[in-house]
Chain A
Amino acid sequence: GAVVSQHPSWVICKSGTSVKIECRSLDFQATTMFWYRQFPKQSLMLMATSNEGSKATYEQGVEKDKFLINHASLTLSTLTVTSAHPEDSSFYICSAMADGYSPLHFGNGTRLTVT
């Protein structure tokens, strides 16, 4: 079955530093990738939609300069949390799909802790 690999699984960083999270589709070409952030009570918030070769579409309230998304190839999208602060500590998940008719495949998530 289709696999989406997310790396790293967890990261601890100091306030003010930047962290990059990778999302790779291992056995299919993902035209679209999504980035989510998990909030309390297990709710997932969509942060942005990333299409290969074009700028990401950010949801309202998500700072595009803070959360940089790059979908450089059909198998890789990256989320960079710039100048991280403790309030950015969260669980970030990506998902990918081959096309509009394909199911979504989720990565295993990245636990970010900013100290």
Chain B
Amino acid sequence: EDKVVQSPLSLVVHEGDTVTLNCSYEVTNFRSLLWYKQEKKAPTFLFMLTSSGIEKKSGRLSSILDKKELSSILNITATQTGDSAIYLCAVERDNNDMRFGAGTRLTVKP
């Protein structure tokens, strides 16, 4: 059965800390892995990863895919209170459907 598992489920840190969020998957016909930030109304797209070992960066956020380990990590450095959100990992399959993980709730305290 296809599944996407994120860990940890919840995380509380202080401003300035660095966090690593994990996403592992077992899906057939993998096409890409996506990371979203869920705050209010709709998940905001962060990264799409298709190739193993190539890091993608956007400011303090970075992510990398490991196809051998069937996993991805999302790193956030120098966290700020505005980073508090639920971070979602989703896997797109060749037939165009998606499998979402349950998300990691990140709370950044001042």
Give A residues with C-beta under 8 Å from B.
1-2, 9-10, 34, 36, 41-46, 59, 91, 93, 95, 103-106, 108-109, 111
What is the CA–CA distance of A101 and B95 in the complex, to the nearest angstrom? 33
A2 proximity list for chain B (CB < 8 A): 102
Q: How many A-B residue pairs have CB under 8 A?
A: 52
12 pairs across A/B with beta carbons < 8 Å?
A9-B95, A9-B97, A10-B97, A34-B42, A42-B48, A43-B45, A44-B43, A46-B41, A91-B96, A103-B86, A103-B105, A111-B97
Given A43-B45, A44-B36, are A108 and B102 neighbors across the interface (CB < 8 Å)?
no
B13 contacts the other chain (CB 8 A): no
Closest to B101 in A: A106
Give B residues with C-beta under 8 Å from A.
9, 34, 36, 38, 41-45, 48, 86, 88, 90, 95-100, 102-103, 105
What is the CA–CA distance of A2 and B36 in the complex, to the nearest angstrom? 20
